[in-house]
């Protein structure tokens, strides 16, 4: 179930080209910003293919937070959509998402008589 959620809920990025690092063969840096969850990532920061999650307010992220955000970069799940996915996948006593079936509280014989 977790893989289905990850595949269905990737980040949606807006991409900004940043400056090129000094050096002859250094790559351009890119800022990837998810429009849903507002997480940002810098790609090619220091070397080609490097990924660095950054915080919105400039405070340093903890190592655990950096690892957790980096794991979601390529395939998701986007944390903003995780809430929606968990709510739609949750099944409680009344049926999916708390909806009560139309024939709830009626026996089959009562429904046939009407």
Tens-digit pLDDT profile for the chain (114 aa)? 454 444 568 899 999 999 888 888 888 999 999 998 999 999 998 888 999 999 988 788 999 999 999 999 988 888 887 766 666 666 544 445 555 555 555 555 554 554
Residue 36, CA distances (Å) to 40, 65, 77, 85, 105 in order: 11, 18, 11, 14, 40
Structure tokens belonging to residue 50: 């490097």
Q: What is the pLDDT of residue 32?
A: 95
Helices (H) and strands (E) in the chain, counts: 4, 6
Given this model, what pLDDT does residue 43 score?
94
H or E segment to which residue 22 belongs? none
Contact between 51 and 73 under an 8 Å Cβ cutoff? The reply is yes
Task: Supply the pLDDT for residue 93.
Answer: 44
């Amino acid at each position: 179930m977790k893989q289905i959620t990850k595949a269905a809920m990737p980040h949606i990025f807006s991409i900004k080209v940043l400056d090129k690092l000094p050096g002859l063969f250094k790559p351009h840096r890119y800022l990837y910003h998810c429009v849903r969850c507002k997480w940002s990532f810098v790609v090619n920061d220091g070397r080609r293919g490097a990924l660095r999650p950054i915080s919105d307010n400039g405070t340093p992220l903890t190592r655990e937070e950096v690892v957790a955000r980096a794991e979601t970069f390529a395939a998701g799940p986007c944390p903003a959509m995780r809430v929606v996915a968990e709510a739609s996948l949750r099944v409680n006593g009344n049926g999916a998402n708390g909806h009560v079936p139309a024939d709830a509280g009626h026996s089959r014989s009562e429904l046939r008589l009407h």
